[in-house]
Structures are given as C-alpha cells and as structure tokens.
Chains A and B, each alone.
Chain A
Amino acid sequence: MYAQMIKSEATKDDPEKLVAFQARIDADEKIEPKDWMPEGYRKTLIRQIGQHAHSEIVGQLPEGNWITRAPTLERKAILLAKVQDEAGHGLYLYCAAETLGVSRDELTEMLLDGRMKYSSIFNYPTLNWADIGAVGWLVDGAAIMNQVPLQRTSFGPYSRAMIRICKEESFHQRQGYDAIRKMAEGTPEQKKMAQDALNRFWYPSLMMFGPSDKDSVHSEQSMAWKIKINTNDELRQKFVDQTVPQAEYLGLTIPDPDLKWNEESGHYDFSEPDWSEFFDVIKGNGPCNVDRLAARNKAWDDGKWVRDGLLAHAQKRKAAKVAAE
C-alpha cells in the first residue's frame, strides 16, 4: 500500500554524469528505464518500489481475513473487489521495479526470506469487522496521502503506476469510510466496535508515514532526486488535519487526549506515535509479522508445482506449434 523507511545510498558515480542527471531532475524531466542514472538512485528506487509492491501483496492478508465472514453479501463483494485491486497494484509496482533491472521473482524471494520489508501496518491483526472499515478509511487514507505526491516522482514508470493506483485507492478509502459510517450510525454495539477499531488503527496509521523528519537521515537525498516529494512529517500532519473532521462527523473520538486545533498554525497538534513500537514492528516483532511471512512463504512453496506446470505446458505447446509450421 505504500513504502516507508527507505534509505538512499551513497554513490561512486561519474561526477559529470551526476551533474547532468541532477539537472534533468531539477528541470522536472522524468527519468526513463533506459536513461543513465546514479547507482544509488537505482537501488533506492528498487527498494522503495519493491517494498511498495510487497506491501500491496501482504496487505491482502489482513483484509482477506474477513472475506468469508463479511456481514452482508454486498460488503463481501466490495471487499473482494478491493483485495483484487491490491493484487493489481502489486503487479503494476513489480513491473515498475523490473524496469530497473531486477526480476519479480528475485524481489519475491527477498520478501520471503526477510531481506526486503513491507509496510509496518500489515503486521497488525484485523480483530473484528469494523477493522476492515478502519483499514479502508485510515490505512488507505494514509496511503493516498503518501501516493498522490508520488504521482510526480521523478522515475517515469513509478509515477505512471502511482497515477493508476491512486484512482483505485480512492475507491478503497471511500468504501472503508462508508463501512465504518454504517457502524457508527448503527446500534450501540456497532458504534463501540467502530470506536475500538479506530483506537487500534490510529497510531499504526500515523506510523505509515515513516519516522519523524529529525530521525529520517536519508530522506534528504531522496528529496533532492525527487523520489520523495514531501517529508514524512508534512504528510503525517496533512493526514491528521484531514482525518479529524471525518472522525468528528461519525461521532467517534481520536484516541489522543492531546489532540487539539492550533489556531496559530492552522493545523491540529497531536501526539506522536510510540516510535519504539514502530521500530520493533519493522524489525519483525509486531503482532503478525511471523504469520504474514509464513502465509506468503506457504503460498509460494505450495504453488511451485502449479507455476512449473503452467510453464511446462506453455513450452510444450510452443514446441508443438513450431513443429506444425
């Protein structure tokens, strides 16, 4: 659903080429796969786009958890369509990453053996149906906040993938808000479930924007290369400003006693998430890290004979076609 904690790399590139490259970036030219690019730019992008793609794939698990248990047929159909979109988003992003010279299978293997990460948010469990609404509203909401500026990111294939994804992502956010609204306006039990979901997903959603700017030592290079357009804190602030009125409309309370409107700055003041929890989740110690990776590994391993079978069949048919000509 989105990428975080990306470190850009130091490079040993030809200084003349670097200057020319930076000039193209500064002129807002898009960088295309066949253009020269610094090794650090390539590696940072492979990591960011790859991690973004992995997030889409792993993100299907928490929501998929409720497909068979969705409360109405309509909600179930909507959830299925959404999870199907996430698969598509993963696909667009893997293809964008592949233009940088890495294969999808390589990326997949790096995810499966823990060499690459995915968004911290998907390591939280979905404990009741309201969580599905909260994920759409807050998690996809945070994702959009992050992805809209990425439509202008300097690498052409990534920027084009984001344009496609943003269109579909706004369907996800709306359906999530709609689902949670139904519950907030429903019985007292339903409203309680909605509030509980908001309580659990609020801070993890804030963490999706990555660590605070003062601790994000590598974002400077990413900003100079226009891989990143806004800082983590800028986007987080925007998200809070947008989301608070949405919660108020539902009659739900943001689980932050220090949240208040700041007349002077024109923004909401809010408490930072617990960053030690964030770093712990990133390191693999969140509530669902082990389950998520185990599920992906099982699907990959158990599906091997199907992938091999399809390939063998395709080759056999190709050979038969050549023989017939």
Chain B
Amino acid sequence: MSSPNAAYPDTPQTEDKPPKRHEWPLWEVFIRGQHGLSHRHVGSLHAPDAEMAIKNARDVYTRRNEGVSIWVVEANDITASSPSDKGPLYEPSESKVYRHPTFFDIPDEVGAM
C-alpha cells in the first residue's frame, strides 16, 4: 500500500504513527482539455485502483467540459525534484544566454529572421 504523501517525501508526518492503515492510494490526475495540446495536472484523488481513479476523475474534474482525455498515476510512482536542487538544476539556463535567439544581433538590412 502506498503512503499518501509519497509525492512529497520530504514532508514529515504530523505525528509519528504506526504503519498506515488500509487506505486507498492517492492518484494524481492529468487532463487534456478540449483544445488543449498537452495533459495538465489538475489535482489528485483517492481510489482503490486505476479504473476507479479514472471514473472518479471523470466525475470530479470534467463535470464542466474541462477535458477529453484523462491520465491517472499513483502518487507513489512520481519522483519530484527537490527545492534544495534549485540552484544546480536551473542555473545553466541562466548562464547560457546564447541559447536564446534574441542573443544574436541581426543587421536591419538583412530583414526579418
């Protein structure tokens, strides 16, 4: 059985308790909108299995035409980057300005490029 806050392993439990009781696992829900290009995370829910998770996600997250395709994934199966890695993970994008097209000056005479 998955622990309910598996997607947030750095988050301590409020109280030290014996192993979790029989709880339905947590599922993260992703929905692709009617004209959406990609699936977006919209929230999470508890369900005993994937089929029930899809059914519940249909009822809870697509009641007002929000989407046409649903993905569910057990929260346990998600690994998230950690806030303390912020520097090393994202610093390169800041120091490599030449990766952006706006870095390069193009003479006006050349026209649009």
Contact = CB atoms under 8 A, between A and B. Distances in A.
Contacts of B43: 91-92, 95, 161, 164
B24 A103 contact: no
B52 A310 contact: yes
B23 A102 contact: no
A270 to B, nearest CB: 36
Contacts of B4: 98, 103-104
A34 B5 contact: no
Interface in A88-145: 88, 91-92, 95, 98-106
B49 A33 contact: no
A35 B10 CA distance: 9
A92 B11 CA distance: 19
Given A101-B14, A104-B23, A105-B23, A88 B83 contact: no
B82 A34 contact: yes
A35 B17 CA distance: 23
A105 B7 CA distance: 17
A311 interface: yes
B21 interface: yes
B83 A35 contact: yes
Interface string B13-49: 1100100111110100000000000000001111011
A322 to B, nearest CB: 14
Interface string B54-70: 00000110011000000
Contacts of B8: 33-34, 99, 101
Contact of B83 (A32, A101, A164): A32
A46 B14 contact: yes
A2 B49 CA distance: 30
Nearest to A99: B8
Q: A-B pairs with the 10 shortest C-beta distances? A: A314-B49, A314-B48, A310-B48, A101-B11, A103-B4, A95-B44, A33-B8, A88-B60, A105-B23, A311-B48
5 contacts: A98-B44, A104-B23, A161-B43, A313-B49, A314-B52
Interface of B: 4-5, 7-8, 10-14, 17, 20-24, 26, 43-46, 48-49, 52, 59-60, 63-64, 80, 82-83
Given A36-B83, A307-B48, 13 more contacts: A34-B8, A34-B83, A35-B83, A91-B43, A91-B60, A100-B14, A101-B5, A101-B13, A103-B4, A103-B20, A161-B43, A307-B24, A318-B49
